[in-house]
Amino acid sequence: MRKDRISVLLATPAVALSLALTAGCGANDENASDEPKTATGSLEELAEQAKCDPDVQKHASEELRQANCTTDDGKYILITFATDRGVREWLHEAKPYGGSYLVGRKWVAVGDEKVTEALRGRLGGTVETGSSHHSGGSDDDGGGSTDHEGHEGHEGS
């Protein structure tokens, strides 16, 4: 009988740990279901999911397609790419200019932070932020201007 008590005592923490781990996994599953699955598809299919009537821009390159969108949340640009690598290369070039980017598989939506967060509820994806140009440092001309046009020579610090 003593052996049975020890078995029960040893089994109880294992069962408790197992239940705790299982309950923890269930909680994570609930949080994961709150976020929409990241959308995929053509420019037109993504625009439909985003509730946008796209103004599609013609590009000579088949590597990307672009549409201007306006919804109740605001204006944004929706861009689709032929490859995921195209997305990363484009973001590498775009992020130094600042902005908010909602990134999915072979697509990016560009708009202000409020718009990209609202779109994330419909399209899923990950919000990425471009470089901040308000680092508190002084401008070369000493004028303290917040007008940041023409960043060709900007290397950051």
pLDDT digits (tens, 9 = 90+) for 85-103: 999 999 999 999 999 999 9
pLDDT value at residue 1? 53
Condensed to tens digits (0 to 9), the pLDDT of residues 47-83 reads: 999 999 889 987 767 789 999 999 899 999 999 999 9
3-class SS at 39? coil
| Confidence at 17, pLDDT banded by 50, 70, 90 | very low
Count Cβ atoms within 10 A of the Cβ of residue 117 and give its class: 0-12 exposed, 13-18 middle, 19 or more buried: middle
For the chain, give the percent of residues with pLDDT over 70.
Answer: 61
Pairing of strands 100-104, 74-81: unpaired
Residue 76 near residue 115, CB atoms below 8 Å? yes
Cα within 13 Å of Cα(9), Cβ side: 6
Can you read off the two tokens belonging to residue 49?
């999911």
**100-104 sheet: strands from edge to edge:** 55-57, 64-71, 74-81, 107-111, 100-104, 126-129
Judged against a pLDDT cut of 50, whether residue 29 lies above it is answered with no
pLDDT value at residue 33? 56
114, containing H or E segment: helix 113-123
Overall average pLDDT of the 122-131 stretch: 94
